[in-house]
């Protein structure tokens, strides 16, 4: 499964097709296109140098579709600074060459090979150790950790200079590498979980085969884990995960300790002592009991997918109106980590593309409570679930349905789920922004749908909101099943507003074929509106004036009554 989320940066339209092919290797990656030169990229940037340097400084892996020289010159000022060195690759515009430039220890060669495989070319690998031995000793596969980088670099240059090596301990991936092995050799690669001081001729590699079972009540948990490992003479680098009872799943102490130790947290359905927790998760492990903790040392690196189960996560996300650049970064990150995606088919499609390992559960728009319960069942089983809404999930959308389902449930497994609501740009705000600032003063947001509330309360609220001189934003203004309601709503509003009141109609805002119209209340009729339209009606102070580029600006001033002196 590909977890890396690089940025794909392109300078011209001619690179877009290659960029899309690379995106299939990294579905969560965004294509950044130069403003004015590229149409149809996922996001637009103004200045190449500043953009590339900002990505680099945020440690984002970079795939630049341009000459390697341009990338080198652009990043050169940053290279002497210590700090993160994310993978950086240059790829020829036509996809004919893939050149890893920086980030050897961040896995740039692995990325180069993955991209090259996607483009059906060979990667231009130039790292001698990697070419000679077929593996990067300094960047062991998951399941193993390198003891120390500096002595590792010295060790690899010794081997390149002709020294032979003896491997102690089991590391199957090293046996497949073309290392100059010799049982008599002085230089040793030592593979094991025991803490040890490396001698000058030794490279230490730690298998991640250790799990520590803990209880949330232990004071200063991360420190307790470190000192227990030390007492048991087990290397901290071998720690693969923390284990706990699933009754403590929602504990913030556990979450913080795992974060501090940089390892995942796994749970088992055992409420008893730490020793039983450890054995339940890692059956044949050797157990060391130290203080209140149980250290489980397995014979092989732990495959974390099969150790206990993770705390499930349920994120209710808002996609924004539709355009990718209006989606908040937290939502993009959530989409990349999700295992299951639920929602109305149109929105699930809008949230994609998804990887093959991500399960899509598309349902009809109306089955909201069923969808919410389905999401909790999946999350309670340890999956990372997303429920998709358009706009903001808290505005006439799934967040309230999900909370209602949780409120009605007494299942502790549902309440233990890591529930997150991630906001989005709601249709009223996206429409208002395109028109100017029609909601620039107090306003009232209403859904005109009487599916889940009586029409009488809608009339009452409309009447009072219009009377209070609030600008109005109507969601769900009309549908085939609700043909007359909008007309009646407009009659009520007209009792409190003149026919000249500005009205903004935004249809499919942020989506292909979007339209934005500014008209007046007097000319607004229900047939100009459909269920994909946002209706904004001004207050008595909302006004318009021509824009230089055609059409009009609409805004509601910040003040009310008399204009303040400025």
Which two tokens mark 437?
Answer: 């600032």
Cβ of residue 479: shortest distance to ligand SAH, in angstroms?
A: 8
Closest CA to 176 of 120, 134, 145: 134
Residue 472: partners with Cβ closer than 8 Å, 6 or more residues away = 443, 444, 446, 462, 465, 466, 493, 535, 536, 537
Q: How far is the CB of 490 from ligand SAH (least distance, A)?
A: 15
Contacts of 229 (CB under 8 A, 6+ apart): 195, 210, 212, 235, 236, 239, 295
User: With contact defined as beta carbons under 8 Å apart, do 245 and 267 qualify?
Assistant: yes
- Give the nearer residue to ligand SAH in terms of CB position, either 312 or 391: 391
Give me the residues that bind ligand SAH (CB under 6 A), please: 321-322, 389-392, 395-397, 426-427, 431, 475-477, 506-511, 531-534
Smallest gap from residue 312 Cβ to ligand SAH (A) = 24
Closer of 63 and 397 to ligand SAH (Cβ): 397
Other residues' Cβ atoms within 10 Å of the Cβ of residue 367: 13
Minimum distance of ligand SAH from residue 350's CB (angstroms): 10
Rounded CA separation 144/305 (Å): 16
Tokens of 449: 């749908």
CB of 130 closer than 8 Å to CB of 109: yes
| Residue 311 per-residue DSSP state | P
Nearer to ligand SAH, 6 or 391 (CB): 391
Shortest distance in whole angstroms from residue 344 CB to ligand SAH: 10
Residues of the chain by 3-state class (helix, strand, coil), percent to 5: 35, 25, 40
Choose between 146 and 504: whose C-beta lies nearer to ligand SAH: 504
Q: How far is the CB of 515 from ligand SAH (least distance, A)?
A: 9
Give SS3 for 396. Answer: coil
Cross-strand pairs, 7? 30, 62
Tell me whether residue 20 or residue 517 sits nearer to ligand SAH (CB atom).
Answer: 517
**C-beta closer to ligand SAH: residue 209 or 426:** 426
Give the shortest CB-513-to-ligand SAH separation in angstroms: 11
Specify the residue, 87 or 506, whose C-beta has the smaller distance to ligand SAH. 506
Smallest distance, ligand SAH to C-beta of residue 396, A = 4
Q: Cβ-closest residue to ligand SAH?
A: 391
Q: What does DSSP assign to residue 306?
A: G
CA–CA separation, 142 vs 145, rounded Å?
A: 8
Nearer to ligand SAH, 250 or 526 (CB): 526
């Amino acid at each position: 499964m590909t977890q890396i989320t690089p940025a794909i940066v392109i300078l011209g339209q001619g690179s877009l097709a290659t960029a899309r092919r690379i995106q299939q290797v990294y579905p969560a990656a965004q294509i950044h296109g130069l403003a004015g030169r590229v149409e149809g990229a996922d996001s637009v940037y103004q200045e190449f140098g500043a953009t590339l340097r900002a990505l680099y400084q945020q440690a984002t892996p970079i795939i630049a579709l341009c000459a390697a020289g341009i990338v080198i010159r652009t990043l050169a000022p940053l290279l002497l600074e210590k700090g993160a060195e994310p993978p950086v690759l240059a790829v020829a515009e036509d996809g004919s060459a893939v050149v890893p430039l920086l980030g050897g220890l961040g896995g740039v060669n692995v990325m180069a090979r993955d991209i090259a495989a996607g483009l059906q070319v060979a990667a231009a690998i130039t790292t001698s150790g990697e070419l000679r031995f077929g593996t990067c000793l300094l960047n062991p596969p998951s399941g193993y950790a390198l003891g120390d980088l500096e002595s590792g670099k010295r060790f690899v240059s010794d081997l390149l200079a002709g020294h032979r090596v003896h491997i102690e301990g089991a590391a199957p991936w090293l046996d497949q590498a073309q290392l100059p092995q010799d049982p008599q050799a002085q230089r040793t690669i030592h593979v094991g979980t025991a803490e040890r001081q490396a001698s000058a001729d030794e490279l230490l590699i730690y298998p991640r085969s250790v799990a520590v079972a803990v209880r949330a009540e232990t004071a200063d948990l991360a420190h307790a884990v470190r000192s227990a490992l030390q007492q048991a003479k087990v290397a901290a680098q071998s720690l693969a995960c923390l284990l706990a009872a699933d009754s403590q799943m929602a504990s913030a102490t556990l979450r913080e300790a795992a974060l501090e130790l940089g390892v995942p947290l796994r749970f088992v359905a055992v409420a008893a002592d730490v020793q039983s927790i450890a054995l339940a998760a890692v059956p044949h492990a050797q157990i060391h009991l130290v203080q209140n903790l149980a250290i489980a040392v397995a014979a092989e690196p732990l495959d974390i997918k099969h150790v206990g189960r993770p705390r499930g996560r349920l994120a209710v996300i808002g996609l924004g109106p539709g355009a990718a650049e209006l989606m908040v970064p937290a939502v993009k990150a959530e989409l990349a980590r999700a295992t299951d995606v639920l929602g109305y088919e149109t929105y699930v499609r809008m949230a994609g593309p998804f990887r093959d390992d991500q399960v899509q559960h598309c349902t009809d728009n109306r089955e909201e409570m069923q969808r919410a319960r389905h999401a909790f069942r999946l999350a309670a089983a340890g999956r990372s679930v997303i429920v998709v809404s358009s706009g903001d999930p808290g505005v006439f959308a799934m967040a309230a349905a999900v909370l209602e389902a949780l409120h009605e449930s007494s299942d502790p497994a549902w309440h233990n789920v890591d529930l997150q609501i991630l906001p989005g740009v709601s249709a009223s705000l996206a429409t208002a922004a395109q028109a100017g600032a029609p909601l620039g003063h107090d306003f009232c947001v209403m859904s005109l749908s009487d599916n889940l509330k009586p029409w009488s309360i809608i009339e009452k609220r409309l009447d009072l909101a219009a009377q209070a001189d609030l600008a109005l934003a109507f969601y769900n203004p009309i549908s085939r099943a609700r043909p007359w309601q909008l007309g009646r709503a407009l009659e009520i509003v007209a009792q409190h507003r003149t026919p000249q009141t500005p009205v903004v109609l935004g249809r499919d805002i942020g989506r292909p074929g979007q339209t934005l119209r500014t008209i007046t209340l007097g000319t607004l009729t229900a047939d100009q509106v459909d269920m994909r339209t946002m209706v904004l009606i001004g207050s008595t102070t909302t006004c318009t004036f021509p824009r230089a580029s055609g059409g009009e600006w609409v805004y509601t001033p910040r003040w009310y009554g008399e204009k303040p002196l400025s």
